[in-house]
Amino acid sequence: MRTRIPAYAEHLKARQLAAGTLMPYLAELERLARFLEAEGLSLETLTLPQLTRYLAREGRASGTTRRALTILHQFLNWAKHPLATELGAIRLPRAHTPSPDYLSEAEEKALRKTLKARTDLKCQARDRALFCLMLDTGIRVSEAAGLTAGAVELLEKLIRLVTKGGKHRPRFLPMETRDLLKPLVAGLAPTAPVFQTSSGKGICPRHIRRLLDAWALRAGIERSIHPHALRHTFATSLLKKSGNLRLVQLALDHESPKTTAIYAHVADEELRAAIEGRRA
């Protein structure tokens, strides 16, 4: 089993999976390898009852069991294992999809206002451009961290990104966001990161998360905010204003409309609240 994992990792990398997507795949396979070793079993003779015992021993919730089955099914398919067909026939009940975490209109307004007002902070211009870019385009935190000066085309009013799967996608920039980016990219080499630390290195996603927590605290937002919440905020706001889920799908670069459907739940919740409060 363990001898197959490195080859499968190379297969996944060739599909240009992001590191954050790759890690759960490899972690799942490592857990299965440890189980097989402890039980004196081999991958070649693995049966469905044995695999079921492995999943049961892990004590998983339904959502993580579903993800494990998906990962193992893809691996066994790649390995041309006969168990792949049996595993693919298993259908778990659909899990409840939670509504995405996003900023309320008041929270977004407070964050933008604070980012603009705190000019006493050395990092203010960079951080304002960074978080306004994420709020105004819905790009992922990894895409913001990896943005280079050459990908910012101010005259064309867009940035060019390499998104998940190695696809090249433009993102349109509102005027205010272009104005915020302009001084950051001035004089930079095309390959230089737009958002840099004091030492001139590009800031990493973990650093961005710490920065966002600090700015949220300054804005009076009394909860931790993950950078992905800014992407959800963009999508939620776009859906409210356009009423077009397909438009949101295109803006977020989702291949499947099912991925974008989580934002419809948000719209439903707000509609329900509006109806309840209409006569209040």
Domains annotated on the chain, with CATH: 5-88 (1.10.150), 105-276 (1.10.443.10)
pLDDT (tens, 9 = 90+) of the chain, 280 residues, equals 788 889 988 888 887 777 777 888 888 899 999 988 988 988 888 888 888 878 777 666 666 777 888 888 889 889 998 888 877 766 655 555 555 688 888 999 999 999 999 999 899 999 999 999 999 988 989 999 999 999 999 998 889 887 666 667 888 888 999 999 999 999 999 999 999 998 889 999 999 999 999 999 999 988 888 999 998 888 888 877 776 666 677 777 765 555 555 565 555 555 455 445 544 4
Helix, strand or coil, per DSSP, at residue 169: strand
* Identity of the amino acid at 260: T
Instruction: Kindly give, in sequence order, each residue whose CB lies less than 8 Å from that of residue 124, ignoring residues fewer than 6 positions away.
Output: 115, 118
Query: How many whole angstroms separate alpha carbon 58 and alpha carbon 66?
Result: 13
Joined together, the tokens standing for residue 255 give 């291949």
CB atoms within 10 A of CB 183: 11
Query: How many whole angstroms separate alpha carbon 127 and alpha carbon 210?
Result: 11
Helix, strand or coil, per DSSP, at residue 153: strand
Instruction: Kindly give, in sequence order, each residue whose CB lies less than 8 Å from that of residue 89, ignoring residues fewer than 6 positions away.
Output: none
Cβ atoms of residues 115 and 220 within 8 Å: no
**Structure confidence at residue 167 (pLDDT):** 67
Cβ atoms of residues 248 and 239 within 8 Å: yes
Cβ atoms of residues 239 and 245 within 8 Å: yes
